[in-house]
Amino acid sequence: MSSHRAPTVRALGWTSFLTDFSSEAIYPLLPGFVKGLGGTSVEIGLIDGVANAVAAVVRLPSGAVSDAVGRRPLVLFGYGLSAVVRPLMAFVVSPFGALLVRAADRFGKGIRSAPRDALVADLVEPADRGAAFGHIRAMDHAGAAVGPLAAMAFLLAFPGQERRLFLLAILPGLATLVVIWRFVHDPPRRTLAVASTTLTAGLSRPQASLLGCVAVWSLGAASEQFLLLRVADVGVPQAFIPLVWFGMSLAKSGAAGRAGRLADAVTPRLALLAGWLVFAAAYAGLAVTTSLPAVLALVGGVGLAYGIAEPAERALVAALAADGRHGGAFGWYALVQGLMALPAGLLAGWLWESGPDGPAWSFAVTAGLSLGACGLLVAGFRRDG
């Protein structure tokens, strides 16, 4: 990576750290918070599914527009919107209100995600993209690890003060905007594409094949809120749920930093296949055990799988995209992934509520869909070379 470009990549890592510190101080508490407002497991799945679907709708146009006008304006606006909206969870009095705030937060994520990933692709040589994406994902998950610890410490000191904690989440959000304003810049030269062309241009066969695999995997990858519900069911007190989230995020962060370099070394496709196989194995284990130590270990395994797969996915999307079209390519990737979140959340919630074995069925379906995505990915290897 060129020396004048490295500061922007490092700054994007810090924006990810600070944003997830803010977001994940709240997120692990939402299942219990929404249930306290009278919400059900289906509504918990619906909240995350709708929020992610809202983000998905704006990701494709946002990525395409960034191909024409630059990445930085959309990155700044998306992070800024989330920073301002997220603390409004403190004023929510119903599950519907929680849905509105969560959806607005994710709308900001949808605006910034594809332009940010495209900016990394603009800045970094293809041989180093896995490492760059791995660094950013590692910082992202490190923030997601520290945020819940801060939340747990706060709630141990101030029991029952979740709403005050939600308000304080604005502070790291505002720090994110300072980092972007000062350190995140578009490269001085890059190929510009016309946004409308990016939106309508056909996908290549390898791109369409990858999106099909991502769609199947995403249908099984329902909200991680269900993992938190599971650890609560097997005996983890609510005050210590953030500690579980810390462990999972630590696994994601540690794996992402190393797996990005692995993706550069062995090709992103093989690294992605490895991540999805670990994901399937972890969820298969969750389907057959209710032992607290085993559940905790398997939740860590889910975190490990995410850490392996995420840099590989992004490196592969960048590798398959034409020059100047990275924003649109990441927009398509995020669109497919986000749109599948709603049916994934509803499916997992419905299975969860279907009877005493509902959680086991929910996790088993996730494992099966993940294996199906692996099969499609291998078929794509053979077809596309």
Dihedral sign, Cα of residue 141, residue 256, residue 335, residue 70: positive
Which class is domain 6-182+198-384?
A: mainly alpha
pLDDT for position 5: 55
The predicted pLDDT at position 343 comes to 85
- What pLDDT is attached to residue 153? 87
Residue type, 180: I
Look at residue 364 in the predicted model and tell me its pLDDT. Answer: 92
**DSSP secondary structure letter of residue 29:** G
d(CA 107, CA 109): 5
User: In sequence order, which ranges of the chain are alpha helices (DSSP H)?
Assistant: 6-24, 30-36, 41-69, 72-85, 95-123, 129-157, 162-168, 170-183, 195-200, 205-220, 225-233, 241-266, 268-288, 292-320, 326-339, 341-352, 358-384
pTM (global) more than 0.85: no
Check: CB of residue 85 under 8 Å from CB of residue 104: yes
Within 10 angstroms of residue 334's Cβ, the number of other Cβ atoms is 25
Q: What angle do CA 141, 272, 46 make, to 5 degrees?
A: 60
Q: Tell me which residues of the chain have a pLDDT lower than 50.
A: 1-4, 191-201
Tokens linked to 279: 């994901």
- Other CB atoms within a 10 A radius of the CB of residue 375 amount to 12
What gap in Å lies between CA 380 and CA 97, rounded to an integer? 43
229 neighbors 285 (Cβ within 8 angstroms): no
Residue 107 near residue 58 (C-beta atoms within 8 A): yes
Cα separation of 242 and 261, whole Å?
Answer: 29
pLDDT of 303 reads 92
At residue 213, the pLDDT reads: 93
Return the pLDDT at 139: 92
